Amino acid sequence: MPIRGEGKFGLIYGYLALYSDNYHIASLSFYKHGESAGLGAEITDNANWTKQFKDKPLFDHGHPSIRIVQEGRNTQDAYSVDGISGATYTSQGVEHTINFWTGDLGFGEFLRQYRN
């Protein structure tokens, strides 16, 4: 599904793919942004960062629950991934973007219909 949201220096645009259960992330990719090279631009330049989202569940008790935590913090819970070092605003923007578009103001109702 197409997603877009606020990064530090402007909008970020990407795609969020889900498995057929509409509950787990299959992949996440971004294709356009205005983020700083070597920092926020890691959302497109660092495949290892976006791979962290693969197989993550999106919902906790029916609510979008992806969390991007400070790099090196506990990411052992099912919903958390490491943030990008030096790119706190971009990381927060990605978290908000995913949770917005999978929530009630985005594609949430559609996802619920096909999940049940």
How many CB atoms within 10 Å of residue 31?
11
pLDDT digits (tens, 9 = 90+) for 21-68: 888 999 999 998 888 787 777 788 788 889 999 999 999 988 999 998
Q: Which are the contacts of 42, defined by CB distance < 8 A and separation ≥ 6?
A: 49, 84, 87, 90
80: left (phi over 0), alpha (psi -120 to 50) or beta: beta
Residues spanned by the domain of 37: 2-115
Structural domains counted in the chain: 1
Mean predicted confidence (pLDDT) in 70-85: 78
Q: Greater confidence, 91 or 15?
A: 15
Taking a C-beta distance cutoff of 8 angstroms, is the pair 18, 24 a contact? yes
* pLDDT at residue 74 in the model: 63
pTM of the model: 0.90
Residue 116 has pLDDT above 70, yes or no: no
